[in-house]
C-alpha cells in the first residue's frame, strides 16, 4: 500500500470515528429539579410537559426530557398519579398497563420484569407500525411512573449507548 493510500485510509477512518468520539464526550448526568431521578443523556434535553387523561376523566402531567440525535432519540419521562390509583392497583399491573398502551398498534418483541433501586420495574422492546424499535424501561416508585425510552432502528436494544442510558437511571430522594 502506498503512503498516500495509507494516509487517505487513516483520514477516512478518523472522519468516520469522529462523530462517535464526539457523541461519547457529550454524555452528562441529567437531574431535573423536582424529578426525583437521575440519568445520563447524550446532550442537553429539551424539556416539555404533556397532559395525560386517565380513564376516570382526570388529567395528570407527564414531564419529558428528550435528546434527539440522527436516527435515535432518548426520552426520560415521569408522571405523578393520584394516590388512589396507586392504592387500588399493584405496581406490576400498572407497569403492564403502561407496556400494553405503548405496544398498541405495534408488536411486543420482548418483556421482562426488573427491580430498580428496590422499585418494581420492567423492560420491553416494541416494534411500532413504522418499523421503529422502542426500548423502554418503566419504573413505579411512590405514585410516580418513570419511563426511559430509546427509539431507533433494528438492533438499537443491543447498542452500548442504549444500555448506558437505561442502566444509568436511578430514583433519588426528593
The per-residue pLDDT for range 120-156, each reduced to its tens digit, is 999 999 999 999 999 999 999 989 999 999 999 999 9
What pTM was computed for the model?
A: 0.84
Kindly give, in sequence order, each residue whose CB lies less than 8 Å from that of residue 33, ignoring residues fewer than 6 positions away.
none
Kindly list the domain boundaries of the chain, sorted by start residue. Answer: 28-171
Measured from the Cβ of residue 49, the count of other Cβ atoms closer than 10 Å reads 11
Tell me what pLDDT residue 4 has.
Answer: 39
Q: Class for domain 28-171, per CATH?
A: alpha beta
Tell me what pLDDT residue 55 has.
Answer: 87
Q: Is 25 exposed, middle or buried (0-12, 13-18, 19+ CB in 10 A)?
A: exposed
What is the pLDDT tens value at each position of the chain, 174 positions in all? Answer: 433 333 333 333 444 444 444 444 489 999 998 889 999 999 999 999 999 998 899 999 999 999 999 999 999 999 999 999 888 899 999 999 999 999 999 999 999 999 999 999 999 999 999 999 999 999 999 899 999 999 999 999 999 999 999 999 999 976
Tell me what pLDDT residue 23 has.
Answer: 47
Tell me what pLDDT residue 172 has.
Answer: 92
To 5 degrees, how large is the angle CA 24–CA 28–CA 34?
155
Q: Which residue has the cell 420492567?
A: 122
First to last CA, the chain: 61
DSSP string, 131-164: S-EEEEEEEEETTEEEEEEEEESTTGGGSHHHHH
Grid cell of 46 as nine digits: 429539551
Q: Which residue has the cell 408488536?
A: 107
Tell me what pLDDT residue 12 has.
Answer: 37
Tell me what pLDDT residue 144 has.
Answer: 95
Amino acid at each position: 500500500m502506498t503512503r498516500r493510500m495509507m494516509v487517505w485510509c487513516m483520514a477516512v477512518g478518523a472522519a468516520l470515528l469522529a462523530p462517535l468520539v464526539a457523541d461519547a464526550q457529550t454524555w452528562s448526568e441529567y437531574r431535573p429539579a423536582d424529578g426525583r431521578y437521575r440519568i445520563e443523556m447524550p446532550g442537553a434535553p429539551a424539556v416539555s410537559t404533556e397532559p395525560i387523561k386517565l380513564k376516570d376523566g382526570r388529567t395528570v402531567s407527564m414531564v419529558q426530557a428528550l435528546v434527539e440525535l440522527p436516527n435515535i432519540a432518548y426520552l426520560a419521562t415521569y408522571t405523578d398519579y393520584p394516590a388512589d390509583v396507586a392504592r387500588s392497583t399493584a405496581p406490576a399491573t400498572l407497569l403492564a398497563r403502561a407496556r400494553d398502551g405503548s405496544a398498541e398498534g405495534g408488536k411486543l418483541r420482548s418483556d421482562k420484569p426488573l427491580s430498580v433501586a428496590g422499585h418494581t420495574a420492567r423492560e420491553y422492546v416494541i416494534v411500532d407500525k413504522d418499523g421503529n424499535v422502542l426500548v423502554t424501561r418503566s419504573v413505579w416508585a411512590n405514585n410516580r411512573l418513570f419511563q426511559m425510552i430509546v427509539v431507533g432502528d433494528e438492533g438499537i436494544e443491543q447498542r452500548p449507548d442504549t444500555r448506558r442510558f437505561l442502566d444509568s437511571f436511578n430514583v433519588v430522594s426528593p
